């Protein structure tokens, strides 16, 4: 592969990965899909071009590894702790091409740049298979498997077509009862260092191409169900109605009111109504709720207020309110040693004397799972107008070039520190 490890190569690979989509008109690549398999195949080849031996683990994550002396080595080879670089390859519906994918491709490029450099640790690159949780609800499934946090209760989560996670595993060629084999031994890990677009406006507002992450916001996700009575839109006077959609609409605006009064964030991303006919009063409304906060306590306090509001609205409108939690991940503080390495990498790459900027990430990342087994650090890249989870997601090639230098320098700074 010509130019491997260059900015042009990185940008072109992110473009390549947009080919592996479930839709011809938009980018959508979910866990255990044919597109997931195709993306893994493409990334595996690029890892091998970068001098890594590769393997798909028992949860569908794609890994590459080289030993400390630079020789290709089977991923998860015990005995030589590894620094893991990487991000995720799955997407939200109608996604941008950099959320996740840029981090995986940058990690491969850094591995190539260091292929002839002896390090005090092995180097691994991972493409996690399900950070978004788009298909089954629970997010971070790939990194939860890698960090030994798989919960058997997840097997029965089903996608929109009713295919359970267990069934999807089998169809993908994975063995559900072997998912535990993906768990990495903490003793075999030096740390997890991810590069990712900021997915927010701060770096652009500060006029900076890069920053380091201090903490990643903790997240919880729910399905909220409001049940009333489906009735004739003409024959049912208002006094007799138990309209699930009107009650849900009140709840949606109440959720925003409550969240705006805190420093947490709440989003209702999807609302489905049954039976969904123009002349039938909705009998059932199902909403998704995404909650995240600077602290888990703040996030959880907001949830208690939202649940209380749901109960109040249900009582007032004669409907029922139920909730199911589908995902929870703790706020994660990045390790000082990795923060120092990333900050020194940024300082070297941007040749500035000013202190690199540290910022918290309201966006979730695989580091929230990997933090259970190893130190976590993140390098953020500026993205235009903070846009993400949208096809207009954009990074400047110049910023990617600086990130390549900073990411490489961060690995070398850590090597020097540890070596």
Minimal distance in Å, beta carbon 133 to ligand HGY? 7
C-alpha pair distances (Å), 197 with each of 169, 351, 419? 30, 21, 29
Looking at residue 185, what DSSP letter applies?
Answer: P
Site for ligand HGY, rule CB under 6 A:
131-132, 139, 363-364
Structure tokens at 226: 């409001």
Measured from the CB atom, the residue of 27 and 244 that comes closer to Mn ion is 27
Site for Mn ion in 69-128 (CB under 5 A): 99-100
Minimal distance in Å, beta carbon 249 to ligand HGY? 24
Measured from the CB atom, the residue of 85 and 139 that comes closer to ligand HGY is 139
Structure tokens at 222: 């729910």
- Helix (H) / strand (E) element for 43: namely helix 34-49
* CA proximity to 94, closest of 393, 390, 395, 394: 390
User: By rule CB under 5 A, what count of residues binds Mn ion?
Assistant: 2
When CB distances to ligand HGY are compared, the closest residue is 364
Measured from the CB atom, the residue of 177 and 385 that comes closer to ligand HGY is 385
Instruction: Tell whether omega for the bond before 275 is within 30 degrees of 0, i.e. cis.
Output: yes
Residue 364 binds which of ligand HGY, Mn ion, none (CB < 5-8 A, kind-dependent): ligand HGY
Measured from the CB atom, the residue of 283 and 364 that comes closer to Mn ion is 364
53 binds Mn ion (CB under 5 A): no
Alpha carbon distance, N-terminus to C-terminus of the chain: 31
Using N-to-C axis directions, what is the helix angle for 7-17 and 34-49, rounded to 10°? 160
| 12 SS3 class | helix
- In angstroms, the CA 407 to CA 413 distance is 10
Minimal distance in Å, beta carbon 77 to Mn ion? 28
- In angstroms, the CA 375 to CA 392 distance is 32
Measured from the CB atom, the residue of 92 and 255 that comes closer to Mn ion is 92
Minimal distance in Å, beta carbon 363 to ligand HGY? 4
Minimal distance in Å, beta carbon 419 to Mn ion? 31
Q: Would you tell me which residues interact with Mn ion (CB under 5 A)?
A: 99-100
């Amino acid at each position: 592969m010509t130019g491997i490890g260059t900015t042009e190569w990185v940008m072109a690979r992110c473009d390549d990965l947009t080919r592996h989509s479930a839709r011809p008109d938009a980018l959508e690549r979910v866990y255990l899909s044919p597109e997931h398999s195709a993306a893994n195949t493409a990334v595996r080849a690029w890892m091998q071009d970068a001098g890594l031996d590769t393997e798909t683990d028992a949860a569908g994550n794609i890994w590459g590894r080289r030993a400390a002396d630079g020789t290709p080595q089977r991923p998860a080879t015990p005995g030589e702790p590894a620094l893991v670089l990487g991000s995720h390859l799955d997407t939200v519906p109608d996604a941008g091409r950099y959320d996740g994918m840029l981090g995986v491709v940058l990690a491969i490029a850094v591995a190539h740049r260091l292929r002839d450099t002896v390090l005090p640790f092995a180097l691994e690159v991972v493409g996690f298979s399900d950070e978004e949780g788009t298909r089954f609800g629970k997010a971070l499934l790939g990194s939860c498997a890698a960090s030994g946090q798989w919960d058997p209760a997840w097997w029965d989560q089903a996608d929109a077509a009713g295919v359970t996670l267990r069934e999807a595993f089998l169809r993908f060629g994975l063995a559900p009862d072997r998912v535990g084999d993906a768990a990495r031994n903490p003793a075999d890990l030096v740390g997890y260092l991810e590069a990712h677009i900021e997915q927010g406006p701060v770096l652009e507002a500060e006029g900076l191409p890069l920053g380091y992450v201090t903490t990643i916001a903790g997240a919880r996700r729910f399905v909220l169900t409001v049940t009333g009575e489906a009735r004739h839109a003409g024959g049912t006077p208002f006094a007799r109605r138990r309209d699930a959609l009107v009650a849900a609409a009140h709840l949606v605006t109440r959720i925003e009111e409550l969240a705006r009064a805190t420093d947490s964030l709440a989003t209702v991303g999807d609302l489905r109504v049954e039976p969904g006919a123009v002349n039938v009063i909705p009998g059932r409304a199902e909403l998704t709720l995404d909650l995240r906060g600077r602290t888990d306590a703040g996030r959880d306090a907001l949830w208690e207020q939202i649940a209380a509001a749901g109960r109040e609205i249900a009582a007032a409108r004669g409907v029922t309110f139920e909730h199911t939690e589908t995902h929870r991940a703790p706020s994660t503080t990045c390790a000082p040693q990795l923060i120092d390495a990333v900050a020194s990498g940024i300082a070297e790459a941007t040749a500035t004397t000013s202190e690199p900027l540290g910022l918290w990430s309201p966006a979730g990342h695989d580091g929230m799972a990997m933090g259970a087994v190893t130190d976590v650090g993140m390098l953020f890249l500026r993205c235009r107008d903070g846009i993400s989870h949208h096809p207009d997601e954009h990074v400047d090639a110049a910023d990617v070039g600086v990130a390549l230098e900073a990411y490489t320098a961060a690995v070398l700074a850590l090597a020097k520190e540890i070596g």
